[in-house]
Amino acid sequence: MASYLWVLPALGLYALFTLVPLASGVWLALLRWDGIAPAEFVGLQNFERMLRDERLASALWHNVQYALGTVAGKIVLSLGLALLLHRSLRGRAVYRTALFLPVVMSFVVVGILWTWIYNDDFGLVNNLLRSVGLGGLAQDWLGDTRVALWALIAVDIWKWYGFHMVIFLAGLQTIPTELYEAARLDGASRWRQLTSITLPLLRPVMLVNVTLSLLGAMNVFDIPYVMTEGGPANSTNVVALHVYLQAFKFNRLGYGSALSYAIFLLITVIALVQLRLLSRNTAEY
């Protein structure tokens, strides 16, 4: 009995700051409320409204593109850097630290920094293109509906590649060096060693990185909000940002709460599928 008393304060705080908000959020999702006028009970109308919300459909499609772009970019870039840093290089620790720095930077700082870099007039990207004779490629990166979302994807990749690189480095250190020595004795090239030893043994780590990257991409908010607020012409509006705008800009708190729980269920399903794949893959090894 005494042991339960020790954990009672922690359970009380957990209930106060987690369980109670979750329960109140479910009730809020059943209301029509703008935060000022008296709330009106509407039942499941907020959830039915999602089926008619065209902006939600476009935001979900943007999220899918965002997820595909960021997952592919992070995995390829972080794996390549991990393979380079896993070799014996002078100053390897310095390189690791420098490449990891974007991970610890604030989302707001990253968003403002890259907004300046993408600026049409004085931004680093356009000035660099003009300085090398490629001025025709210079454009308003955050003001063009065709490229704005992909510009945000590039920022997300830059922000998180160091995190996934460290995970890959940890996985590479678990691979026995004897396997590579035996492969070299058999005359295997570096490419053959990569495809026959490194990548197969990195499958569990690869799945962890894909899972973390995918969940982050489906729940992204900070970078689109800071850099574009969903523009131009709604071309960078993602689901989490759509929830925020509905709840706190258009004062549709009940609908915003319903959207939040729908996203929660979607991310939960994705996470369960990924964990199922991870457990099956781990069992094989």
**For residue range 102-145, what is the model confidence (pLDDT) as tens digits?**
999 999 999 999 999 999 888 999 999 999 998 889 999 999 99
**Which has the higher per-residue pLDDT, 154 or 282?**
154
Q: Are 108 and 100 in contact (CB under 8 A)?
A: no
Dist. CA 54–CA 194, nearest whole Å? 45
pLDDT at 42: 93
Dist. CA 78–CA 237, nearest whole Å? 27
pLDDT at 272: 86
**Which has the higher per-residue pLDDT, 236 or 122?**
236
pLDDT at 283: 59
pLDDT at 152: 97
- Residues 143-148: contacts with CB under 8 Å, at least 24 apart: 143/232, 144/232, 145/232, 145/233, 145/235, 148/228, 148/231, 148/232, 148/235, 148/236
Does residue 215 carry a pLDDT above 80? yes
Does residue 285 carry a pLDDT above 60? no
Instruction: Tell me the domain boundaries of the chain.
Output: 41-284
Quick one: DSSP state of residue 38? P
Among the four given CATH numbers 1.10.10.60, 1.10.3720.10, 1.10.20.10, 3.40.50.300, the one describing domain 41-284: 1.10.3720.10
User: Which residue carries 């053959």 as its tokens?
Assistant: 192
pLDDT above 70 coverage of the chain, percent: 98
pLDDT at 7: 85
The average confidence (pLDDT) of the chain is 91
pTM of the model: 0.89
